[in-house]
A = this chain, B = another copy of it.
Amino acid sequence: MHLMVIGGAGMIGARLVADLVAKGGLNGRAVTHLTLADVSLAPVPEGFSGKVTRVAVDLSAPGVAAQLIATRPDVIVHLAAIVSGEAERDFDKGYRINLDGTRALFDAIRAEGLRAAYCPRVVFTSSIAVFGAPMPDRIGDEYFRTPLTSYGTQKAICELLLEDYSRRGVFDGVAIRLPTICIRPGVPNKAASGFFSSILREPLVGLEAVLPVPDTTRHYHASPRAAVGFLTHAAGIDTALLGSRRALTMPGLSATVAEQIEALRAVAGDKAVALIRQARDEDVATIVAGWPRDFDAARATALGFTAESSFEEIIRIHIEDALGGKLG
């Protein structure tokens, strides 16, 4: 099976590939050819025995999508995107990459299928940013898409395109709306959501972290490991079960910052918690106040998608996957 991961050089892409190698395939199917496409060259996947193609391309550039799809991958996982903040700052770039790039991919699949029968599985990563305030405390599967950012708008549009192209048999698509990924490995970044990870990640290795919002702030999370599980499950699911509604809010853990901190205390003690410094940032607090707090992801749960059920579990997964199983 030929698997193509677009955005394959990022954190989730790398974890997906590591998972493939560990499990010897995707949902029990051997991956004989792996294509990793991204704007920068993805690292050579360690331990992968099949054919590997790595390409550094801009999906939105003319001809690129057609060139990728000419290799007729069986499963395409499309992770590539300009992040929320950048899409908001750079209107043209956000629409070009997040909307036009995705549409170019979809249209290239259509063109390939018009040449000779072709209907790959396409897994598209959408986001809970397709929702925006005012919202119910818990958002159900039939609540309307109300993005308040250009990023969220672009993701919502791509969901609609994916559903129409799938309905027409151009490809067999599934769009998965990822919760905020926590604990995100690496160094602190300037994303407004960054603190959700850093208040756990940094103290776990003895470093200080700043909490810019009240600890009553509630948000919706899943681990990087859960995200890989979502992608894998979406790649293998029987899409007849989805009907025409192929954009699914993934399950996640709704928790307050205080609950995150208590989980940190349970796993790593008071010493770790003492490294969190409260320093309210009005800008961040205002942005985060507009974000969803909880979802009733009933459809995805019924379809077998699973996430963590406690923040202790999320922290332990980070210790296993990012810290080699060892704490401090």
Contacts and interface: CB of A to CB of B under 8 A. Distances in A.
Interface of A: 91, 110, 132, 142-148, 150, 153, 156-157, 160-161, 163-164, 167-168, 244-245
Contacts of A161: 153, 157
A88 to B, nearest CB: 9
Nearest to A167: B148
Closest 8 CB pairs of A and B: A153-B164, A144-B144, A157-B157, A153-B160, A142-B144, A156-B160, A150-B164, A157-B160
B143 A168 contact: no
A154 to B, nearest CB: 8
B168 A163 contact: no
A161 B161 CA distance: 13
A91 B168 contact: yes
Contacts of A145: 144-145, 160
Contacts of A150: 164, 168
A245 B146 contact: yes
A131 to B, nearest CB: 10
Q: Which of A143, A145, A160 has the most CB of B within 10 A?
A: A160
Given A153-B160, A157-B160, 20 more contacts: A91-B110, A132-B244, A143-B144, A144-B144, A144-B145, A145-B145, A145-B160, A146-B244, A146-B245, A147-B160, A147-B163, A147-B164, A148-B167, A148-B244, A150-B164, A150-B168, A153-B161, A153-B164, A156-B160, A157-B161
A147 B246 CA distance: 12
A241 B157 CA distance: 25
A163 B153 contact: yes
Nearest to A150: B164
25 contacts: A91-B110, A91-B168, A132-B244, A142-B144, A143-B144, A144-B144, A144-B145, A145-B145, A146-B244, A146-B245, A147-B160, A147-B163, A147-B164, A148-B244, A150-B164, A150-B168, A153-B160, A153-B161, A153-B163, A153-B164, A156-B160, A157-B157, A157-B160, A157-B161, A160-B160
A33 B255 CA distance: 57
Contacts of A144: 142-145
A293 B2 CA distance: 45
Contacts of A163: 147, 153
